[in-house]
Amino acid sequence: MFRFLARFLGLALLAAGFVGLVIDGTRSIANNAVSLTPLGEVAFRLFPRSFPLLEPAVTRHVHPFLWDPVLLNLLLLPAGLVAFALGALLLWLGRKPPEPIGFLSGP
């Protein structure tokens, strides 16, 4: 069940990454400059009410060091490439185990 879910989410994320890169490519061609959508902008568009509450929650309950250098840099990454990477990771985790080449015949 976990492998099916991992493969399904992996393929969905690969498709989302492809769509995101096509949109970014179209915007880059129209603007005559490279334009990539950051992950933070996508997260803000998906969760407009709860995303601004992320910074106070992380700095208050976890650690301020986690917000400033770690999560801010993660949120600046291109969303299409992050979706591709997560999709590839989930597809790798959901793969079938390799068949054994041989077996022991002795006691």
Range of the domain at 69: 38-77
Residue 59 sits in the same domain as residue 31: no
Give the tens place of pLDDT for each residue, 41-53. 999 999 999 988 8
Residue 42 sits in the same domain as residue 54: yes
106 DSSP 8-state letter:
-
Spell out a b/e string for 77-103, using b for 16 or more CB atoms within 10 Å of the CB, else e: ebbbebbbebbeebbeebeeeeeeeee
Q: How high is the pLDDT of residue 104?
A: 67
The answer to whether residue 9 is domain-embedded is yes
Euclidean distance between CA atoms 23 and 42, whole angstroms: 13
Stated pTM of the model: 0.80
| Range from 24-28, 39-43, 58-62, 81-85 carrying the lowest mean pLDDT | 58-62
**Tokens encoding 55:** 């910074």
Report the alpha-carbon angle 97-93-95, nearest 5: 40
Mean pLDDT for the chain? 89
78 beta partners: 38
Residue 10 sits in the same domain as residue 29: yes
Tally of structural domains, the chain:
2
